[in-house]
């Protein structure tokens, strides 16, 4: 099968159509920002949290319920801008989880308690940085770096990997990913960042040297996005599942599509903050 035929197979077309719809949703919600984006990210995060809790079969158990409540509590703090209470809330949540563990012992195993704490951090808190980047000064423009680093890098890596990939990057964890694809993804992300900076540099007031900053951020973010992608794959392989869900045709669940975004969102937030 030629490289062109590989690209035009049913699976790729399904992924492409779903990807286009996701981009449209991202465009609408991110441009509108504020409560529209906040609610969207909150819903996506709660669905993603349910997916990770289902992997460990705790989504309907008391520890899982406490995870949902902690996630909702976090979003309340975020929206009301009471983030000075974030650490006390997280400590309180850990104490609640451990209280559930010890006072119902031996009903729940540690393998059911730990994923609940992990899930809130891994999905809810890290995904919330999409909203937090958007709320930064010039956030309307910098927030798109998250998707250039994740979805842009992933798409470029996929295309280059299909056409030129020969050397496996992680043969056991993700056999389809290649070193050539990874390099293509990083180069593609850098070029996307450069093109994006060139187009919108005149619209930003707080960003210094976007023509240098954005490609660098996209390369670093692209590297981190690969870790996020492989981390999600590792969890699936450890638990013998193919996809986290079936919500997005051709992609799977929220975590299957947002696995790299989860890692890049906080990275972009802090890179922009520190490097600028």
pLDDT tens for residues 61-70?
999 999 999 9
Both tokens of 114, joined, read 């730990």
| 263 part of a folded domain | yes
| 58 part of a folded domain | yes
| 215 part of a folded domain | yes
| 132 part of a folded domain | no
pLDDT digit string, tens, across residues 158-196: 888 888 878 788 888 887 888 898 999 999 999 999 999
Residues 153 and 216 in one domain: yes
The answer to whether residue 250 scores a pLDDT higher than 80 is no
- CA nearest neighbour of 208 among 136, 275, 137, 127: 275
Residues 110 and 187 in one domain: no
| 89 part of a folded domain | yes
CA 93, distance to chain mean position in Å, is 23
> How far apart are the C-alpha atoms of 50 and 59, rounded to whole Å?
6
What is the percentage of the chain residues whose pLDDT exceeds 90? 65
Residues 166 and 73 in one domain: no
Residues 37 and 76 in one domain: yes
CA distances from 134 to 56, 152, 221, 266 (A): 32, 18, 16, 12
Least confident of 9-13, 22-26, 203-207, 251-255: 9-13
Domain end position, chosen among 102, 127, 152: 127
In this prediction, residue 84 carries a pLDDT of 95
The answer to whether residue 135 scores a pLDDT higher than 80 is yes
Beta bridge partners of 248: 252
CA distances from 223 to 38, 82, 249 (A): 27, 32, 26
Residues 246 and 144 in one domain: yes
| 264 part of a folded domain | yes
Residues 75 and 108 in one domain: yes
**Sequence-separated contacts (24+) of 59-65 with Cβ below 8 Å:** 61/108, 61/112, 62/100, 62/104, 62/108, 63/97, 63/100, 63/101, 63/108, 63/112, 63/113, 63/116, 64/116
Domain end position, chosen among 103, 127, 151: 127
Residues 114 and 229 in one domain: no
Name every residue whose Cβ is closer than 8 Å to that of residue 197 and which is 6 or more positions away in sequence. Answer: 210, 211, 213, 214, 215
Residues 96 and 39 in one domain: yes
Domain end position, chosen among 127, 150, 168: 127
Q: Is 8 or 236 the better-scoring residue by pLDDT?
A: 236
Please state the domain count of the chain: 2
| 260 part of a folded domain | yes
In this prediction, residue 114 carries a pLDDT of 96
Both tokens of 78, joined, read 């975020």
Residues 150 and 209 in one domain: yes
> How far apart are the C-alpha atoms of 164 and 272, rounded to whole Å?
33
| pTM (predicted TM-score) | 0.89
| Interval 123-132 mean pLDDT | 97
Mean pLDDT of the chain: 90
CA distances from 120 to 96, 194, 225 (A): 14, 34, 19
Residues 25 and 143 in one domain: yes
CA dihedral 149, 155, 156, 160 (to 10 degrees): 150
Residues 37 and 114 in one domain: yes
| 133 part of a folded domain | no
In this prediction, residue 18 carries a pLDDT of 76
Residues 181 and 260 in one domain: yes
Give the residue numbers spanning the domain of 107. Answer: 33-127
């Amino acid at each position: 099968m030629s490289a062109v035929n590989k690209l035009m197979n049913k699976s790729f077309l399904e992924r492409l159509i779903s990807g286009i719809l996701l981009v449209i949703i991202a465009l609408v919600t991110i441009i509108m920002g504020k409560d529209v984006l906040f609610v969207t990210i909150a819903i996506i995060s709660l669905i993603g949290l349910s997916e990770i809790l289902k992997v460990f079969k705790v989504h309907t158990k008391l520890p899982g319920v406490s995870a949902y409540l902690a996630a909702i509590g976090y979003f309340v703090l975020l929206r009301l801008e009471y983030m000075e209470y974030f650490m006390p809330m997280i400590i309180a949540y850990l104490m609640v989880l451990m209280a559930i563990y010890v006072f119902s012992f031996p009903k729940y195993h540690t393998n059911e308690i730990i994923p609940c704490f992990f899930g809130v951090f891994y999905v809810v808190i890290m995904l919330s940085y999409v909203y937090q980047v958007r709320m930064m000064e010039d956030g309307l423009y910098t927030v798109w770096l998250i998707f250039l680093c994740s979805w842009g890098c992933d798409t470029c890596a996929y295309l280059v990997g299909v056409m030129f990939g020969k050397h496996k990057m992680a043969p056991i964890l993700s056999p389809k990913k290649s070193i050539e694809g990874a390099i293509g993804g990083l180069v593609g992300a850098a070029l996307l960042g450069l093109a994006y900076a060139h187009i919108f540099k005149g619209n930003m007031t707080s960003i210094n040297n976007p023509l240098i900053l954005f490609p660098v951020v996209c390369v670093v973010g692209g590297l981190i996005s690969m870790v996020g992608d492989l981390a999600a794959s590792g969890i699936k392989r450890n638990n013998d599942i193919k996809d986290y869900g079936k919500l997005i045709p051709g992609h799977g669940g929220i975590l299957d599509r947002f696995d790299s975004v989860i890692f890049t969102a906080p990275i972009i937030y802090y890179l922009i903050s520190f490097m600028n």
